[in-house]
């Protein structure tokens, strides 16, 4: 199983298979080592044509095997390792979802903007938390909880209208997919920056917002230019 916690380095690991034991073990480690709430989501099931389909059975599911399985998902999320073992014991292939607005919020940008912003942050020696890459070509920057309501005003202070940028702040009543969960045939969520002892303390949104707004603004300008 590819290590995801307690390992140094910024390289993106090899995409792991969605094995039940890996998902259960990883969900428990998120709870025990990071004190994150976890939520079992949907899962992938074999279809008659040899492909895989989401357990929700929706033919046009936008996130096959990687979304909440029930409308009351927020109440099902747990910060208990024993409860996590029981939940994934019932369905070992369930996606690992991480509720936002609890231990952390997430700044969700395109992969292109995220890579540009990350390069600027590294040059500026900005403290960073864990960062997730999704197979939908999104980058998710973990920041201190409470960030989402602040983002629109922070963006305006930098001279940009929030609605003009592809920058989504995820806070209360939302969740994100966690490695090594697979999203249909698209691939698996992976760590661009893995959770380690050195990034246990998450950055404040104010520390990341300027490079992210710059990168998203540049991406929006290039899009308009085309």
Average pLDDT in the chain: 90
Place of tokens 């702040």: 169
**What pLDDT score was predicted for residue 12?**
37
Write the pLDDT tens digit of every residue in 168-201: 999 999 999 999 999 999 999 999 999 999 999 9
Burial class (CB within 10 angstroms; exposed 0-12, middle 13-18, buried 19+) of 225: exposed
- pLDDT of 30 higher than 60: yes
Which pTM was predicted? 0.89
- pLDDT of 86 higher than 60: yes
């Amino acid at each position: 199983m590819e290590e995801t916690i307690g390992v140094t380095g910024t390289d993106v690991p090899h995409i792991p298979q969605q094995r039940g034991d890996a998902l259960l073990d990883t969900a428990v480690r998120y709870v025990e080592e990071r004190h994150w709430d976890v939520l079992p989501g949907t899962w992938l099931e074999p279809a008659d044509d040899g492909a895989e389909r989401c357990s929700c059975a929706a033919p046009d599911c936008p996130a096959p095997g990687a979304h909440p399985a029930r409308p009351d998902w927020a109440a099902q999320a747990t910060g208990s390792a024993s409860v996590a073992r029981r939940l994934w014991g019932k369905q070992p292939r369930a996606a690992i979802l991480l509720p936002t607005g609890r231990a952390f919020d997430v700044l969700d940008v395109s992969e292109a903007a995220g890579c540009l912003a990350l390069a600027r942050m590294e040059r500026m020696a900005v403290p960073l938390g864990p960062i997730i890459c999704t197979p939908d070509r999104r980058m998710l920057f973990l920041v201190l909880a409470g960030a989402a309501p602040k983002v629109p005003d922070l963006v305006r202070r930098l001279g940009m209208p929030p609605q003009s940028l592809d920058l989504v702040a995820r806070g209360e009543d939302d969740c994100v997919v966690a490695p090594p969960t697979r999203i249909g045939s698209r691939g698996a969520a992976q760590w661009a920056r893995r959770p380690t002892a050195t990034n246990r303390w998450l950055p404040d949104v104010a520390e990341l917002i300027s490079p992210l707004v710059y990168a998203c603004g540049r991406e929006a300008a290039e899009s308009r230019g085309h």
